[in-house]
Amino acid sequence: MAIKKRKKDLNFFERIYIVEIIKGMILTLKNMFRPKFTMEYPEVKFEPPASYRGRPVLVLDENGKERCVACGLCSRVCPALAIEVRAAETELEKERYPELFEINMLRCIFCGFCEEVCPEEAIVMSKDYELVFTNREDAIFGKDKLLVPIENLKDRIEFLRRFK
């Protein structure tokens, strides 16, 4: 019976390794001269696509009013318990607005559930990924930091309408 050659059986040159090692080293050397694809971050900013989930923001409508009706669904669904909403009513009939809307960015895990559950398209994930704080109080974002004009969020809302 002929001895079957197995795939893992190495030939002589493979067994003395030297040739294989040199092959591997040449591969590494070639790699050193390939173009680098590192982005030099603070100078060159990364422009995320519409599907990117940056920090959650509240949408400020064309006429300067917030869309949020303080239903509290986002705060309910938030797995990290990062969102706090306190509702109040307006003069208008059946209109509510968030008197207080806070997201603790130390807890937020950018899961996007709040955006998914929002019936009013009022809370969406933005493209903002630069989050820096020097103390824990600064990490609690109130309405002043959360409200963003709708013009800046066009492609995210577009994306949500197409794929959500």
Partner 1 sequence: MNIWEIIIITIVKILIAITTLLLSVAYMVYFERKISAWAQNRLGPNRVGYKGLLQPFADVFKLLLKEDIVPEAANKTLHTLAPFISLFVAFATYAVVPIGPTINLFGYEIKLVVADVNIGILYVLALTSLGVYGITLAGWSSGSKYSLLGGIRSSAQMISYEVSMGFSIAGVLLISESLRPIDIVNAQYGLMWNAIIQPIGFITFVVSAFAETNRLPFDLPEAEPELVGGYHTEYSSFKFAGFFLAEYANMIIASCLIVTLYLGGWQIPFIDKFGLNPALTTILQVFAFLFKTAFVLFVFIWVRWSIPRFRYDQLMNIGWKVMFPLSLVNIIWVAILIMIFKI
122: helix, strand or coil: coil
From candidates 5, 8, 36, 161, binder to partner 1 by CB under 8 A: 36
Other beta carbons within 10 Å of 148: 16
Closest CB to partner 1 among residues 12, 37: 37
> Which of 19, 21, 106, 109 lies at the binding interface for partner 1 (CB under 8 A)?
21
Cβ-based nearer residue to partner 1, 2 or 44: 44
Distance, in Å, from the CA atom of 131 to the CA atom of 128, rounded to the nearest integer, reads 8
Report the distance separating Cα 114 and Cα 136, nearest Å.
Answer: 22
Nearer Cβ to partner 1, position 21 or 88? 21
C-beta separation of 105 from 131 below 8 A: yes
Could you tell me which residues are beta bridge partners of residue 146? none
Among the residue ranges 17-25, 95-103, 110-118, 152-160, the one whose residues contact partner 1 (CB under 8 A) = 17-25
Assigned token pair, 31: 């790699």
CA angle (142, 111, 153) in 5-degree steps: 60
Contacts of 118 (CB under 8 A, 6+ apart): 73, 74, 124
Among the listed residues 29, 44, 92, 132, the single contact to partner 1 using CB under 8 A: 29
List 2, 3, 4, 31, residue binding partner 1 (CB under 8 A)? 31
Tell me if 137 contacts partner 1 by CB under 8 A. Answer: no
Q: Using the rule CB under 8 A, give the single segment among 6-14, 31-39, 74-82, 136-144 that binds partner 1.
A: 31-39
Binding site for partner 1 (CB under 8 A): 18, 21, 24-25, 27-29, 31-38, 40
